[in-house]
Copies of this chain bind each other. A is one copy, B any other.
Amino acid sequence: MNIAIIGLGNIGGSFALAIKENIPDADTYAIDIDNDVLEQAKAQHIIKDGSQDFKDIIPNADLIIFAVYPKLLVQLVKDYAPYLKEGCIITDVTGVKTSIIGEVEPLLPEHADFVFGHPMAGRENRGLEFSSREVFIGANYLITPTPRNREENIEFLKNFVKKLEFGNISVVTPDFHDEMIGFTSQLTHVIAISLINSDDTERNTKKYTGDSYRDLTRITNINEKLWPELFMMNKEHLVKHIENFQTQLDKLNAAIQSDDVGTMEEMMLESTKRYKDLHDIED
C-alpha cells in the first residue's frame, strides 16, 4: 500500500512514525512545502520518499492523509482531484467537520472516497521535530462518515487507525462531532486564552503558581493561524458552549458574592461527580 501524507508537521510526522512502527509493509510518501523537512524525514527513514510536486506522489497513492490547515486542504483537493488514483481513499485531521465536508465533497471525482476523521491527539508545538507516535497511543479518534462514503472504506479507516494504536474510535455524525469538539477542545482553548490574558503581568505570576494554573494555561501556546479558522467554522456550536459556561460561572460568582455556601457545595459535589465519571472512578 502506498500512503501519501500531505503536510509533514507535528501531526503528519506522527502519522509517518506510527505507520513505520505499526504497518511496516506500507510505503509512506510525503508532500511538504519545506524541502528540508522532506530530506530529514527521508534520511531518518520515516518516509520512503518526499516531493514538493504532488504529481510525483498523488497518482500512485492508495491512501492520502491530509495533515494541513482547513483552507489549504480545500485548495489542495481542488489541485489533486484530476490526478487521484482510481479507488483511492482519502482522509484528513481537521478539527471541524461540517463546513469542510461541505466544501470538499463537491470537488471529488466519483471514484475517490474521502472518509473524514479527527485524531484527538493535538500538541501545541509545531513541526516534524515534535512528532511522536506515542501521542496516538490510547487517544480518541473520531470518524464522521457521509452518505457518499463506502462502508468498506469506513471500516478500512477504523482498522487503519486501530493499528496505529488509537484507543476509542468513535463513528459520529459531522454535526455531533462539531458539537463535541466545540465543547472539549474549542471552549477549553477560549477559556485558557481568556484566563492567561486576564493576568496582571506586573505581578510576576510564575512565582506564585501551583499545578492548577499551569494545567489551565498549558494550551495557550496556540497556533494563531489555525485556530481562528477553526473557531469561525464552528461558530454556532462554540458560541452556545461559551454561553452555557458563562451561565455556570455567573451562578458560582453570585454564590461567592452572597456567601451562599449551599450553592457552592452543590456545584462542587456535582463537579466532583462529573470528574469521577470522566475518569471512571468509583465512589
Q: Could you say which of A56-64, A83-91, A157-165, A270-278 contacts chain B?
A: A270-278
CB distance from A230 to the nearest CB of B (A): 10
Residues of B within 8 A of A195 (CB): 187-188, 191, 245, 248
Tell me whether A110 is interfacial, beta carbon within 8 Å.
no
Tell me whether A139 is interfacial, beta carbon within 8 Å.
yes
A198 is contacted by which of B199, B228, B248, B265 (Cβ under 8 Å)? Answer: B248
Residues of B within 8 A of A203 (CB): 179-180, 183
Q: How many copies does the complex hold?
A: 2
Residues of B within 8 A of A75 (CB): none
Tell me whether A217 is interfacial, beta carbon within 8 Å.
yes
Given A197-B270, A264-B227, A139–B210 Cβ distance below 8 Å?
yes
Tell me whether A224 is interfacial, beta carbon within 8 Å.
yes
What is the 8 Å Cβ interface bit string for chain A, positions 245-273, against chain B (1 contact, 0 not)? 11111011100110101001101111110
A194 is contacted by which of B222, B245, B259 (Cβ under 8 Å)? Answer: B245
Tell me whether A242 is interfacial, beta carbon within 8 Å.
yes
Q: Please determine whether B194 and A252 come into contact, CB atoms closer than 8 angstroms.
A: yes
What is the 8 Å Cβ interface bit string for chain A, positions 176-219, against chain B (1 contact, 0 not)? 01011101110111111111111111010111111111111111
Tell me whether A112 is interfacial, beta carbon within 8 Å.
no
